Structure 1
Amino acid sequence: MRDGAVLEYDYSIAKLFLYATMAFGFIGMLIGVVLAFQLAFPDLNYIAGEYSIFGRLRPLHTNGVIYGFTLGGIWAGWYYIGQRVLKITYHQHPFLKLVGYLHFWIYIVVLILGVISLFAGLTQSKEYAELIWPLDILVVIIWVLWGVSMFGSMGVRREKTIYISLWYFIATFTGIAVLYIFNNLSIPTHLVSGVGSIWHSISMFAGSNDAMIQWWWGHNAVAFVFTSGVIATLYYFLPKESGQPLFSYKLTLFSFWSLMFVYIWAGGHHVIYSTVPDWVQTLGSVFSVVLILPSWGTAINMLLTMRGQWHQLKESPLIKFLVLASTFYMLATLEGPIQAIKSVNALAHFTDWIIGHVHDGTLGWVGFTIIAGCYHMVPRMYKREIYSRKIMDIQFWIMTIGIVLYFSSMWISGITQGMMWRDVDQYGNLTYQFIDTVRVLFPYYVIRGIGGLMYFIGFVLFIYNVVMTITAAKELEREPNYATPMAA
């Protein structure tokens, strides 16, 4: 290729991850809707015998959304963004292309085996780390392949500067690599003793130590997948879609380094008032509150990138997705630290308020960012305009209303739970039995189910719009520089 010639990017791997994002997003969210209504109508637990009970389905929902939808979207973003900001193309680097294909297909195999094993009831019984030990080994291979792809691409780059999105991709790779390996260090019992299932293993950590390692991992699965990986994509797609430069590169550096230093120690807030040492609980609580600074630094940087361009909110539903994603990030990263304060945690822990917090982050921040990123990539990868702006607008409002119904019902439900569980009479006896809270919360569980169903309907509209864009939308003569072209 001559110097100065236009690069022809290779989107083949990014397209594969796009398909995985839509497929596992659909599966994970559908199961999530079923789970939501099971809590309101317990008989739904038995629609398929043991395979439909809440405890069997929940790991499928969380793993499908985290590792299927979210990671799929992040990796689609990497294979799209990486070439463009590094000024390379996989057409010229067949080894990196091969690594990318291996990365995708082993990832798909693990997802399928994960679905089968979890449906079969095979699990390590650790939050966000349910996969059995043979699959853990494959997960490490997947992660190494991504590292080879990422650092290999940077090694052959034509662009000297490492754009901030790539800093966050590196953080995601490094953080998860360390955390996942340590939390999944286990001993396969059959191989050691010859007794029990070959799939069974026990953690190398015991008791409170295991709890600390688990939540060192558990919360940082959120930190380095839902947060740093998603920030990586947002830092590219919002400026690119809006045509605006980042508000402040210095603020990105402050937010990045402070987030990396502080977030990794915040997991202790999951074990407040437990048997772990008090200093671990206090450390988790304090660092969680400090997290407001880097989190809001990122969100404010994104919102101020739109300064003077707020009219784009009316003109582009894609900008609405990105701006509201940043807004939900601000909400979630204020609410989480508040819940980590010990006095608040005494009320909030084990209640639905925690569920509300998790889902205003995952549905609003994570979901909207990945959906917007896909909408930005698809016209450029397939050289077609978005099939329908109207469907995008309808999708945005259905999903937004669904999120509001979801988290507001869980706020009310959770605080009600916490107050009823703590209420005592004049003799110090508990005023309410547990079943009393279950009866009171029924309408809020129904509202949560409706909100989740609305979000799922919006996601189905998203899939339809993307498929129609790929197959039936008007072809583009050239790639748009900024705003994504959309049919009416």
Structure 2
Amino acid sequence: MNTGNVLEYDYSISKLFVWTTLIFGIVGMLVGVIIAFQMAYPSLNHIAGEYGIFGRLRPIHTNGVIYGFTLSGIWAAWYYLGQRVLKITYNQHPFLKIIGLLHFWLYVILIALAVIVLILGITQSKEYAELPWILDLIVVVVWVLWGISLFGSMAVRREQTLYISLWYFIASFVAISALYIFNNLAIPTYFVANVGSIWHSVSLYAGTNDAMVQWWWGHNAVAFVFTSAIIGVMYYFLPKESGQPIFSYKLTLFSFWSLMFVYIWAGGHHLIYSTTPDWVQTLGSVFSVILILPSWGTAINMLLTMRGQWHQLRESPIIKFMILASTFYMLSTLEGPIQSIRSVNALAHFTDWIIGHVHDGVLGWVGFTIIAACYHMVPRMFKREIYSKKIMEIQFWIMTLGIILYFSSMWIAGITQGMMWRATDEFGNLIYTFMDSVSSLHLYYLIRSIAGVLYLLGFFIFVYNIIMTMIASKELDKEPQYATPMSV
């Protein structure tokens, strides 16, 4: 509908994705806490027989957080902001609404099937690409449906200029489309050679080639889900929540094109000191270091958007979440390139320092951005103010403490591992056995587990605040222009 000159947006699909953001977030993070305690106390691997061991639960954690929580948050944001920046409404475009609903329900079915096959141990054994070939086909359909929604909405837009968030969404769609398909090309053995079950397949590539294609995908799953799509989310919600224009639109374009060109080649740094050609390793290292420029360009652009308005950091928990998310993005995108330098990688590779790097990005940058986006969207979609500002503040500090404990414990654990593995006596013999290094990490694994509990507790508080906002908070007479109204 169009009342006067004001479009009445259809939030039905975005609301559905907000719910899956909450549900998949709880599941993915809860499993993460369980496997963290399993690392500290290995006997916990036997809590549910073969279905409770680390090897079964870990892929559920990673897939649940990446493709459940994160993609749900990104798609909730797309179906909310897409209408706004393109000046359309799904009320006037029933085809786009049908596509959006198909997208949502097939996605939910896919996630449910993914949990079942992973808990049963059916997997391709590829990082971030564990799903068997049959589910890969469903992934492609889900992704194509998003593409139809994305480009279909742009085709009927009233606003001719494409806002920068859409550039990042387009980049995510195009890059993941190519990378996921190429990495998952496989031969189903049951149908070709009558060997194994219908789930089983072998990769189209072998040995070193398979590793290179895998980490071309693996690192860019981070690049184009955790990074470019989340940047698109942040570039909409930070200006909208603060009431401030983006500091520099030119800097957004510089950072965008630099990030797109450079990031795609950085995956080789996962294979340093392996059988991959030296030029692939060097290319990965060099491009990873160059990545500091566009990454920090983006983060600085976000921070400078708040110039002259830093008092909002004190007044608004949502701004707190966004600014700390940008800060963690800066930290993570400096740490990653440092770890890709050969001399540093010799110490860091295969250690928990890598885990620390991943999680200060995921918990801080990705998690806080999606949480802030939900806090901005829900009051406008349900026409109610945030249930409790005080609860938001408590959530913020609990989760921040959890993040700090997590990455600091993993930094110390990782450097400890690296130093112990390479320590030699005057005769060149290793001083420590591998088990010595494992035993020395118990305290840090325990701290990591406690950090996970704190972050999960903060997420439960977030879910409570969001649900109470939907059902019990004060109704809004009109949509706020920028700062989100909150009950004390």
How far, CA to CA, are the matches of 1:203 and 1:408 in structure 2? Answer: 37
TM-fit CA distance, 1:195: 1.8
Q: Could you tell me whether the CA contact under 8 Å between 2:13 and 2:101 is conserved in 1?
A: yes
Q: Give the 5 Å matches for 1:11-410.
A: 11-410=11-410
Aligned residue in 2 for 1:9: 9
How far, CA to CA, are the matches of 1:120 and 1:54 in structure 2? Answer: 13
- The amino acid that maps onto 1:247 is F
Q: For 2:441, what is the secondary structure of its paired residue?
A: helix
Count of aligned pairs: 488
- The amino acid that maps onto 2:41 is F
Q: Could you tell me whether the CA contact under 8 Å between 2:106 and 2:142 is conserved in 1?
A: yes
1:247-270 deviation per Cα after TM superposition (whole angstroms, max 9, x unaligned): 000000000000000000000000
How far, CA to CA, are the matches of 2:431 and 2:116 in structure 1? Answer: 44
Q: Could you tell me whether the CA contact under 8 Å between 2:2 and 2:8 is conserved in 1?
A: no
5+ unaligned residues in a row in structure 1: which ranges?
none
Q: For 1:334, what is the secondary structure of its paired residue?
A: helix
Equivalent pairs: percent with the same residue? 75
How far, CA to CA, are the matches of 1:161 and 1:146 in structure 2? Answer: 21
Q: For 1:454, what is the secondary structure of its paired residue?
A: helix
TM-fit CA distance, 1:4: 5.6
- The amino acid that maps onto 1:288 is S
Aligned residue in 1 for 2:432: 432
1:363-409 deviation per Cα after TM superposition (whole angstroms, max 9, x unaligned): 00000000000000000000000000011000000000000000000
How far, CA to CA, are the matches of 2:166 and 2:4 in structure 1? Answer: 24
Q: For 1:199, what is the secondary structure of its paired residue?
A: coil
Q: For 1:187, what is the secondary structure of its paired residue?
A: strand
How far, CA to CA, are the matches of 1:5 and 1:328 in structure 2? Answer: 40
1:55-104 deviation per Cα after TM superposition (whole angstroms, max 9, x unaligned): 11000000000000000000000000100000000000000000000000
How far, CA to CA, are the matches of 2:401 and 2:66 in structure 1? Answer: 22
- The amino acid that maps onto 1:374 is C
- The amino acid that maps onto 2:33 is V
TM-fit CA distance, 1:5: 1.5
TM-fit CA distance, 1:35: 0.7
TM-fit CA distance, 1:2: 6.5
> Under a length normalisation based on structure 1, what TM-score does the superposition of the two structures give?
0.99
1:124-160 deviation per Cα after TM superposition (whole angstroms, max 9, x unaligned): 0000000010100000000110000000000000001
How far, CA to CA, are the matches of 1:125 and 1:424 in structure 2? Answer: 34
Q: For 1:400, what is the secondary structure of its paired residue?
A: helix
> Under a length normalisation based on structure 2, what TM-score does the superposition of the two structures give?
0.99
- The amino acid that maps onto 1:152 is G
How far, CA to CA, are the matches of 2:397 and 2:151 in structure 1? Answer: 39
Alpha carbon RMSD of aligned pairs, Å? 0.7
How far, CA to CA, are the matches of 1:105 and 1:51 in structure 2? Answer: 27
Aligned residue in 2 for 1:418: 418
1:14-33 deviation per Cα after TM superposition (whole angstroms, max 9, x unaligned): 00000011100000000000
How far, CA to CA, are the matches of 1:410 and 1:179 in structure 2? Answer: 30
TM-fit CA distance, 1:228: 0.4
- The amino acid that maps onto 1:313 is L
